[in-house]
C-alpha cells in the first residue's frame, strides 16, 4: 500500500483528487503500521511482565536453539 500511495502521488500531476487519494493512502499506511508496532510492544511487554515467556518456553534461550522467542518467525 505504501507503493500504491506513492504511485498515486507520482501520477497526480495537477490533479488534486489523485494527490488527496495518495496522501490518504499513505496516511492510512502510517497509522496502520503504528498500530501494529504499538500492539507488538504492548503484547511483548505484557507477556514478559506476567511471566508467560518463562513458563511456556517461549523465551529466546541459547541453550535450546530449536525453541526461539514467540516473536521470531521460523521458516521450514
**By three-state DSSP, how is residue 76 classified?**
coil
The residue written with cell numbers 504499538 in the block is 38
Q: Residue 52: what pLDDT?
A: 74
What residue ranges do the domains of the chain occupy? 2-41
Q: Residue 18: what pLDDT?
A: 93
Per the model's pLDDT, the better-predicted residue between 70 and 15 turns out to be 15
Residue 64 has which C-alpha cell? 535450546
pTM: 0.67
Q: Residue 29: what pLDDT?
A: 96
pLDDT tens string 7-56: 999 999 889 999 999 999 999 999 999 999 999 889 888 877 887 766 66
- CA-closest candidate to residue 5, choices 13, 18, 14, 15: 18
Amino acid at each position: 500500500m505504501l507503493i500504491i500511495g506513492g504511485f498515486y502521488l507520482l501520477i497526480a500531476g495537477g490533479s488534486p483528487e489523485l494527490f488527496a487519494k495518495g496522501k490518504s493512502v499513505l496516511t492510512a499506511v502510517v497509522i496502520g503500521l503504528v498500530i501494529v508496532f504499538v500492539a507488538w510492544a504492548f503484547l511483548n511487554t505484557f507477556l514478559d511482565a506476567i511471566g508467560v515467556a518463562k513458563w511456556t518456553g517461549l523465551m529466546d534461550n541459547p541453550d535450546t536453539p530449536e525453541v526461539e522467542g514467540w516473536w521470531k518467525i521460523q521458516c521450514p
